[in-house]
């Protein structure tokens, strides 16, 4: 039965990341293999008509494991591609499996439901939600640095490669070392990941604005004028709206407010307790909690986008300059993309949607072109 379920999974979905394979097996796939698996629904007429059209849409840190994935994504019209988060040394991946299909009872996944337990298995359904339980693995710099340079070479005119990074041992120096290693590759936009658990802990760095401030200050001193983005989670610390707003305000003031960063991206995932049909942990290795991404977290991404845009507008009114807001979470259709723009996002990124729908970027571009033709 297990084999049949996996076969059913693969037979009904086009995929960028093959959840039947281990992380390292996926890493080894070639451009041709990735393209063949992912592009079966691709509209090549759109490709030729819209290949030179650029929009502020792309893929965040996660699905683009290396230069092969980045090239395929750039070729598919995703104009902002974020290279999978790297560190200044090796960090192993969580146990297999890492991706399961997640089935919230309601269309929106909220924190109460996430804490109570959500069914997760190998059977896809709509709307699409998946687990993200990798543990932010990284190869040694000797491997990822030349590969990141190769990924940068696949950028077409008007496209951007973003280098995502985080620490290795919890020290500020390990963040700085990773940032400097990225700069050596020639990548011109960096993203500091504060939205995944800190090294050896279950806490999120973004819940400690003073720590983030210290890291961003040192990183910015090291990288100079190169733009730095901060990736944060949905701010739901202690479940208290007043505390959360003060925490977010402090985070904004201590990073973009002091020019230690030039933008903030939100969100990553919603941490959830995943269970199988028997109520047991759905993931092996004692993992009770996993980040969940997909359609169910769009509400959280939109809310954070609006909150961040409000802070950006206040900074603009006070100082004459705001900061870039990057909206992430639950974008599965062109309408989702436009909803993020209407909520204040300067750029929009999507992971789960593109993972199973290679033509999403071109569908958005097609809709933009049609709207322009109607004017």
Number of structural domains, the chain?
1
Nearest in space to 72 (alpha carbons), one of 35, 44, 37: 35
Residue 13's pLDDT is 67
**pTM, whole model, 2 decimals?**
0.94
pLDDT greater than 60 at residue 7: no
Residue 79 · residue 44 · CB < 8 Å: no
Find the CATH number of the domain harbouring 123. Answer: 3.20.20.70
- Residue 10 or 222, more confident: 222
**Positive or negative torsion for Cα 299, 305, 306, 308:** positive
* pLDDT tens readout for residues 340-370: 999 999 999 999 999 999 999 999 999 999 9
DSSP 136-157: --B--HHHHHHHHHHHHHTPPT
Spatial distance between the Cα atoms of 46 and 283, rounded to a whole number of angstroms: 39
pLDDT at residue 278 is higher than 70: yes
Q: What percent of the chain has pLDDT over 70?
A: 93
Neighbours of 307 (CB within 10 A): 21
DSSP 274: E
Q: What is the pLDDT of residues 291-341, one digit of tens each?
A: 999 999 999 999 999 999 999 999 999 888 899 999 999 999 999 999 999
Q: Is the pLDDT of residue 40 over 80?
A: no
Are the CB atoms for 189 and 162 separated by under 8 Å?
A: yes
Look at 38 and 320; give whichever has higher pLDDT. 38
29 has a pLDDT exceeding 80: yes
| pLDDT, position 207 | 93
State which residues form the domain around 106: 2-374
Question: How would residue 241 be classed by pLDDT, with cut points 50, 70 and 90?
Answer: confident
Average pLDDT, rounded, for the chain = 92
Per-residue pLDDT band at 285 (split at 50, 70, 90): confident
| Cβ pair 180, 223 in contact under 8 A | yes
Residue 9 reports pLDDT greater than 50: no
**pLDDT grade for 11, boundaries at 50, 70 and 90:** very low
The 10s digit of each residue's pLDDT in 178-224 is 999 999 999 999 999 999 877 656 689 999 999 999 999 999 999 99
* Three-state secondary-structure class, residue 310: helix
106-141, pLDDT tens digit by residue? 999 999 999 999 999 999 989 999 999 999 999 999
Mention every residue, 6+ apart, whose C-beta is less than 8 A from residue 95.
283, 284, 285, 287
């Amino acid at each position: 039965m297990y084999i049949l379920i996996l076969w059913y999974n693969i037979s009904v979905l086009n995929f960028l990341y093959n959840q039947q394979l281990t992380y390292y097996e996926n890493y080894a796939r070639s451009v041709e293999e990735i393209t063949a698996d992912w592009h079966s629904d691709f509209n090549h007429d759109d490709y030729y008509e819209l290949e030179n059209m650029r929009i502020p849409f792309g893929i965040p840190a996660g699905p683009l494991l290396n230069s092969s994935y980045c090239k395929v994504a750039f070729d598919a019209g995703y104009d902002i591609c974020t290279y999978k988060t790297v560190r200044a040394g090796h960090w192993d991946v969580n146990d297999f499996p890492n991706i399961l299909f997640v089935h919230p009872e309601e269309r929106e996944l909220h924190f109460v439901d996430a804490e109570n337990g959500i069914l997760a298995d190998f059977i896809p359904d709509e709307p699409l939600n998946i687990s993200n339980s990798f543990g932010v693995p990284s190869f040694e710099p000797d491997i990822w640095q030349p590969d990141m340079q190769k990924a940068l070479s696949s950028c077409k005119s008007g496209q951007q490669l973003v280098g995502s990074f985080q620490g290795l041992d919890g020290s500020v120096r390990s963040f700085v070392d990773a940032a400097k290693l990225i700069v050596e590759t020639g990548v011109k936009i960096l993203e500091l990941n504060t939205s995944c658990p800190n090294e050896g802990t279950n806490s999120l760095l973004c819940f400690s604005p003073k720590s983030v401030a210290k890291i961003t200050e040192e990183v910015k001193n090291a990288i100079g004028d190169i733009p730095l983005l901060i990736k944060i989670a949905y701010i739901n610390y202690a479940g208290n709206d007043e505390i959360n707003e003060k925490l977010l305000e402090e985070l904004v003031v201590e990073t973009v407010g002091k020019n230690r960063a030039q933008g903030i991206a939100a969100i990553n995932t919603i941490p959830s307790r995943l269970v199988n049909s028997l109520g047991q942990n759905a993931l092996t290795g004692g993992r009770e909690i996993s980040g969940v991404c997909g359609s169910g977290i769009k509400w959280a991404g939109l809310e954070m986008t609006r909150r961040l845009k409000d802070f950006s507008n206040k900074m603009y009114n006070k100082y004459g300059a705001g900061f870039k807001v990057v909206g992430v979470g639950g974008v599965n259709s062109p309408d989702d993309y436009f909803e993020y723009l209407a909520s204040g996002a300067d750029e929009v990124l999507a992971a789960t949607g593109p993972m199973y729908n290679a033509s999403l970027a071109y569908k958005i571009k097609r809709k933009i072109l049609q709207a322009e033709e109607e004017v």
